[in-house]
Structure 1
Amino acid sequence: MGFFSKIKKIWQSPEDIAQQAVTEYADDAGATTEEPTSKPIEKAAETTTEKPVSEEWQKDLTLSLRQAEPRLSEWLNVILQGVDKADDTLWERLTFLFRALGAAEEEGRKFNEAFAKWLDNMGYQGVEEFRSELQYRLALALELEDEEDERDRLFLKLSEGISKTKEQITKRIDGLLSAHSSMDDDFWEEFEEILIMADVGMEAADQLMGNLKARAKAAGTNNTEDFKDILRDELEEIFKVGPRIEAVNPPEVVMIIGVNGVGKTTTIAKLAYRAQLQGRKVLIAAGDTFRAAAIDQLKVWADRLGCGFFAKGEGSDPAAVAYEAMDKCLAEGYDLLLLDTAGRLHTKVNLMEELNKIKRVVGKKHEGAPHRSVLVIDATTGQNALSQTKLFNEAAGVDEIILTKLDGTAKGGVVVAVSLQYKVPITYVGLGEKMEDLRPFNGKDFAKALLAS
């Protein structure tokens, strides 16, 4: 259900929604009189089948939701009003929110159970400890991630994440603009130095400056006061993603490629986490069979996330792992297969042959697979990330890029270089260690955050 449909659902009469809620609870004998349990997971599961003490709270809650600004953050304010910890009231209200937005009751139940399990693992009870995570999960589960408020949260996170790159680029640009009144040869020479320092690279820097000079000429300006607007427009153009066919024949198969040490394992876990919050059944396959540690780490993450896992053991044929994982995926009704692969660049010829063999094998088992080949690169490696993109793109083909550790580097200019030289879309960026810190990449927001004063 789309966002505006959800708003329309909220704006039903309170009596209609309250009556619907009461009817759906009607099969149960009466209100619970149990003492609160110390097990939040059990309580979250029970709440979806208990009858509320009164329907008045539902009418009041619906009125408050209708009167609130139609944004997830405002709806969450209403839901959490008077709630200071994870108790019965929280689970009842979250269930009611799902119902009010037209989501299936089963979705609300699963959401409550998963969130309660997370709270239990983290040892959190107070609302202030888990509110941010709750909003993030609701945005994914209710398909509200593109909502303005959630975009604002992402923009803030992105701005914080690129602070080191921003310091390297923006402050130097500000100094450059204050020292020059026109975009003359000296201006462009100093700007090139700024780009090189930020690891944009010579080739990409030359291309970018050529584009910027053409934009300035087309706009009929040589005034440095116009430079930031011209640069922002150019960056938005560089990051623009063309139309792509998103539909796949399920299950979707995603092959994760990249050298060892770039964060593939945690990236796979974060992708699985996002997909599960969106209601997908996920299988992780350990195709990096040359490192026992890689298999063990993926198994730990799969167990933590509660998703499916397949491995054959160290030294197994990676293509055989992919083939049998595909068997399991089809037989057990998985929606998404995330296939890890090896990343041994010192044997790059064999590695690329291996990747192509995996692609052929899964394609025979499931027509159209793999649907995407995702390259993971580490932003902190700067120009090395650029050379890795070139190597994998030429040898195995890259459909999209995930850039990790962007929050830990001043070399974020590699984002520009990769997009400019290879025209491969960057779909996610890593902005921290937490599961929710893998965020969708938006080129317009990146340009805005980078050049903000």
Structure 2
Amino acid sequence: MGFFSKIKKLWDVDSRLDNAVDEYKKEQGIPEAPSPQTAKQEFHQELPETETIETPPVSDPVPSAPAEPQIQDVAEKPASHVSEQGTGEMPPWQTSLLLSLREAEPRLSVWLNLILEGISKADDVLWERLAFLMHALEVPQTEADDFIIRFQAWLDDMEYEAVEEFRSELQYRLALALDLEDEEDERSRLFLKLSEGLEKTRETITRRIESLLTSHDSINNAFWEELEEILIMADVGFEPSMKLVENLKERVRKSGSDDPSCFKELLHEELADLFKGKRRISAVNPPEVIMMVGVNGVGKTTTIAKLAHRAQMQGRKVLIAAGDTFRAAAIEQLEVWAKRVGTGFYAKGENSDPAAVAYEAIEYAKQNGYDLVLLDTAGRLHTKVNLMEELKKIRRVAGKQHEGAPHRCVLVVDATTGQNAISQTKLFDEAVGVDEIVLTKLDGTAKGGIVVAIALEFGIPITFVGLGEKMEDLRPFDGGDFAQALLS
């Protein structure tokens, strides 16, 4: 999203708060708003009058998986009107908070600071203020209620109570729900997380490049040979390293300078261009079906849960289908994640035909108004011939059930495996055609050069990177940010 689009989005959100203030002032005959200092004083004075709001507990609608086909929609939660925001006179604390929000800088982090002011733990005051913020931003009441209920359930599951334990997750969820993930503050948080995750990789690439630049007076043959060695040691691989060096030689030639002090900026530009995604048609005939592939142990199950969580926070109705029917406890593990995230879940008994699971899950999603189906598949690399035939069958059957399905095939790759990630990508791409790659465990590897290798070798876009265990740690991949974090 461009700069002016971001400004327009924030302008639109800011206008909603402005309209809410104007409407209230017109109803009450208030000539002008009080100063920020006055509003802040009134806000603190009225905090004790906050009413207690009781929310019914979140039920546990997912039973254990029986041998017969089972369908559990854990996304269905009991209705809860968390905060009454109907017509009538606005309580003084709401007036003060609304004015403070309106006069604040239109950024999610700033608004959240105002919402959390004076709150040290999750309590009824927090829920009421969150409900009020979402109402002021014209979020539909049912969506606001659902957001709060789901977050309460997550806090209970994680046993978090203090604000410092859950503030980051709350801001992440609000950014998704309010479509503000690309605002400057959120991007800064992503860059910081990405930079921290690449710390081990920087030790093997960036610091050696720094040494390379200081040890050469000009960019000559010896310079290029040493750079090739650095790239290969960082698991970029031999052929991708040669290709990257050739591209960099051309950039240096066009720059007209062989001064090593200019090289780092040229490398940044080359990496940023390397990761530019190809344009594609994103619209699909609903429900969108995403086929998740990858070998066992790469983090595919948790990645499915994180993708489901993101989609759900963005207002989509998600169904997770358990197509890995042979690995011990695979169905149960995915069912637990579906329960935690709060999505629909479809499974058959162990050793069922995975293609049948896909066919029936898509049919169920069409009948029940789901927007997205995340289809898990097996990853037994030691039986790769049979596995690939199985995946091809799933793809064919899905297309027969729903035209165009699967709309995307997403490969999950463990960054710590280094060059094995290249062979896995080649294997799955040849078999079923990989549209996107999610790179997990980037925060725990010194082999981050594999990101460059995959982009050079296959040209398949890397859409997300895993930077930790939390839901918020699966982040959209941005080539420019990656280059900056790697070389900073």
TM-score by length of 2: 0.86
- Within the candidate set 111, 117, 140, 1:75 is matched to 111
Alignment correspondent of 1:107: 143
Contact persistence 1:44–1:88 (CA under 8 A):
no
Structure 2 CA distance, aligned partners of 1:57 and 1:239?
A: 48
Contact persistence 2:320–2:343 (CA under 8 A):
yes
Alignment correspondent of 1:90: 126
- Within the candidate set 168, 182, 192, 2:204 is matched to 168
Alignment correspondent of 1:195: 231
Alignment correspondent of 1:321: 357
Q: Which amino acid aligns with 1:405?
A: K
Q: Cα 1:33–1:343, aligned 2, differ >3 Å: closer, same or farther?
A: closer
Q: Which amino acid aligns with 1:356?
A: K
> Does the residue aligned with 1:377 lie in a helix, a strand or coil?
strand
Note if 1:47 corresponds to 2:82.
Answer: yes
**1:414-449 CA distance string (max 9 Å, x none):** 000101111100000000011111111011000000
Alignment correspondent of 1:259: 295
Alignment correspondent of 1:11: 18
Give how far 1:12 is off: 2.6
- Within the candidate set 139, 147, 151, 2:175 is matched to 139
Q: Which moved more, 1:244-253 or 1:91-100?
A: 91-100
Count residues in correspondence. 442
Alignment gaps of 5+ in structure 1: 22-31
Give aligned-pair identity as a percent: 64
Contact persistence 1:44–1:91 (CA under 8 A):
no
Note if 1:302 corresponds to 2:338.
Answer: yes
Give how far 1:4 is off: 3.4
**1:75-130 CA distance string (max 9 Å, x none):** 11111122222222212211121122222122111111111111222222222221
Contact persistence 1:173–1:191 (CA under 8 A):
yes
Structure 1 CA distance, aligned partners of 2:26 and 2:146?
A: 23
Note if 1:375 corresponds to 2:418.
Answer: no
Question: Which aligned pairs between 1:29-44 and structure 2 lie closer than 5 A?
Answer: none
Give how far 1:314 is off: 2.0
Q: Cα 1:35–1:176, aligned 2, differ >3 Å: closer, same or farther?
A: closer
Q: Which amino acid aligns with 1:7?
A: D
Structure 2 CA distance, aligned partners of 1:17 and 1:346?
A: 66
TM-score by length of 1: 0.92
Contact persistence 1:18–1:59 (CA under 8 A):
no
Alignment correspondent of 2:99: 63
Q: Which amino acid aligns with 1:235?
A: L
Contact persistence 1:18–1:55 (CA under 8 A):
no
> Does the residue aligned with 2:179 lie in a helix, a strand or coil?
coil
Alignment correspondent of 1:332: 368
Q: Cα 1:272–1:335, aligned 2, differ >3 Å: closer, same or farther?
A: same
Alignment correspondent of 2:213: 177
> Does the residue aligned with 2:19 lie in a helix, a strand or coil?
coil
Contact persistence 2:415–2:450 (CA under 8 A):
yes
Contact persistence 2:411–2:434 (CA under 8 A):
yes
Alignment correspondent of 1:186: 222
Contact persistence 1:161–1:431 (CA under 8 A):
yes
Structure 1 CA distance, aligned partners of 2:127 and 2:25?
A: 16
- Within the candidate set 159, 162, 165, 1:126 is matched to 162
- Within the candidate set 240, 243, 252, 2:279 is matched to 243
- Within the candidate set 307, 315, 319, 1:271 is matched to 307
Contact persistence 2:438–2:462 (CA under 8 A):
yes
Structure 2 CA distance, aligned partners of 1:156 and 1:105?
A: 34
Note if 1:426 corresponds to 2:462.
Answer: yes
Give how far 1:53 is off: 9.0
Structure 2 CA distance, aligned partners of 1:174 and 1:377?
A: 29
Structure 1 CA distance, aligned partners of 2:343 and 2:109?
A: 29
Contact persistence 1:17–1:100 (CA under 8 A):
no
Q: Cα 1:310–1:37, aligned 2, differ >3 Å: closer, same or farther?
A: closer
Give how far 1:138 is off: 0.3
- Within the candidate set 355, 363, 375, 2:399 is matched to 363
> Does the residue aligned with 1:287 lie in a helix, a strand or coil?
coil
Q: Cα 1:161–1:5, aligned 2, differ >3 Å: closer, same or farther?
A: same
Structure 1 CA distance, aligned partners of 2:354 and 2:182?
A: 37
**1:222-257 CA distance string (max 9 Å, x none):** 110001000000000100002111111111100001
Structure 2 CA distance, aligned partners of 1:59 and 1:132?
A: 27
Q: Which moved more, 1:347-356 or 1:206-215?
A: 347-356
Structure 2 CA distance, aligned partners of 1:318 and 1:7?
A: 48
Give how far 1:323 is off: 0.6
Contact persistence 1:17–1:62 (CA under 8 A):
no
Structure 1 CA distance, aligned partners of 2:287 and 2:454?
A: 30
> Does the residue aligned with 2:289 lie in a helix, a strand or coil?
strand
Structure 1 CA distance, aligned partners of 2:53 and 2:334?
A: 36
> Does the residue aligned with 1:11 lie in a helix, a strand or coil?
helix
Structure 2 CA distance, aligned partners of 1:446 and 1:17?
A: 46
**1:156-206 CA distance string (max 9 Å, x none):** 000011111111111111111111121111111111111111100000000
Alignment correspondent of 2:439: 403
Give how far 1:46 is off: 4.7
Alignment correspondent of 1:206: 242
Q: Cα 1:265–1:19, aligned 2, differ >3 Å: closer, same or farther?
A: farther
Question: Which aligned pairs between 1:153-164 and structure 2 lie closer than 5 A?
Answer: 153-164=189-200
Q: Which amino acid aligns with 2:160?
A: Y
> Does the residue aligned with 2:411 lie in a helix, a strand or coil?
strand
Structure 1 CA distance, aligned partners of 2:57 and 2:85?
A: 15
**1:373-423 CA distance string (max 9 Å, x none):** 000010000000011111111121000000000001000000001011111
Q: Which amino acid aligns with 2:369?
A: G
> Does the residue aligned with 1:47 lie in a helix, a strand or coil?
coil
Alignment correspondent of 1:416: 452
Structure 2 CA distance, aligned partners of 1:451 and 1:414?
A: 15
Give how far 1:10 is off: 2.2
Alignment gaps of 5+ in structure 2: 1-7, 29-48, 60-77
Contact persistence 1:18–1:58 (CA under 8 A):
no
